[in-house]
Amino acid sequence: MAKRKKVNSPTPHWTGAKAPKLNPNQIPKHVAVVMDGNGRWAKQRGMPRTAGHEAGEAALLDMVHGAIEIGVKELSAYAFSTENWRRSPEEVKFLMEFNRQVLRKRRDEMNELGVKIVWVGREKKLWAGVLKELKQAQELTKNNKVLTLNMCVNYGGRAEMLDVAAAIAKDAVRKKIKPDSLTEKSINKYLYSPAMSDVDLFLRSSGEQRTSNFLMWQSAYAEMVFLDVLWPDADRRTLWHAIEIYAERERRFGKA
Ligand code: FPP
């Protein structure tokens, strides 16, 4: 029998804060986070926007620990969108290089925590060095079971729908599928990550109330929580607070 891998426990929060006690059915299985407000955080401090992104790394790391502590099974982070290419060449370059470095620096820690890293996004335009790092992190952590961390890099909901439509059209032309027998379930296997579960809780920081093209299909029934904290000031307590709000919501999925 294969030996079970030993995993590290998450590190407690530095304040000693503990996860709220909730019933397991009140804990979202999949949380999607839009890490917004890095630029404003930096501006408030007279720093370049890139300093805000740097400060945002710790917030995501702390949320990973906090997600494990409370029992979330899947966390999706919007690290770079298909629309972020419109930013200045300097910021794009910084974000690409930063993603590459963070993955390289953190993959062992993630692996030891039992985190499975999955890249979710489009290959076209993505820098080769970033793609290589994403694939290496994915390979290293592929058997982990504690938490799935979907790193959404060069991701856009509409781009994903477009790629799904093109792949389905190709399969239809090749007679691999019959258009009339398509179902919602059969669409899933054309998504960037077919194994991804539906988003239960969609969390955005910074006070902006938009989904910005993040996981459109997967978030159809997600509970939306918008918190007035800039991303670099967020940590696992922000996630837990959002989960407490989520726990109060009544989810009906279209039923009366
Ligand atoms: C949105 O803030 C943030 C991004 C476009 C980049 C997200 C990247 C991070 C949070 C850094 C962490 C990344 C990794 C790989 C750990 P914004 O720049 O739109 O902020 P603003 O709305 O205040 O201008």
Give the pLDDT confidence of 127-159 residue by residue, as tens digits: 999 999 999 999 999 999 999 999 999 999 999
Given a cut of 70, whether residue 104 has pLDDT beyond it is: yes
Rounded to the nearest integer, the mean pLDDT of the chain is 96
Instruction: State the pLDDT at residue 251.
Output: 85
How would residue 2 be classed by pLDDT, with cut points 50, 70 and 90?
A: low
Sorting pLDDT into bands at 50, 70 and 90, what band is 164? very high
**pLDDT given for residue 195 in this prediction:** 97
pLDDT of 14 > 70? The answer is: yes
CB–CB of 181/222 below 8 Å?
no
Q: How confident is the model at residue 1, as a pLDDT?
A: 60
Ligand 1, atom 18: closest residue by C-alpha: 39
Q: Which residues of 14-25 are buried (b: 16+ CB within 10 A; e: fewer)?
A: eeeeebeeeeee
Pick from 249, 202, 205: nearest CA to 227 = 205
Which of 54, 203, 231 to probe ligand 1 with, by most ligand atoms within 8 A of CB? 231
Known catalytic residues? 36, 84
CA-based end-to-end distance of the chain: 48
pLDDT for 241: 98
Residue 254: the pLDDT is 86
Give me the percent of the chain exceeding a pLDDT of 90: 95
What ligand 1 atom has the least distance to the C-alpha of 81? 5
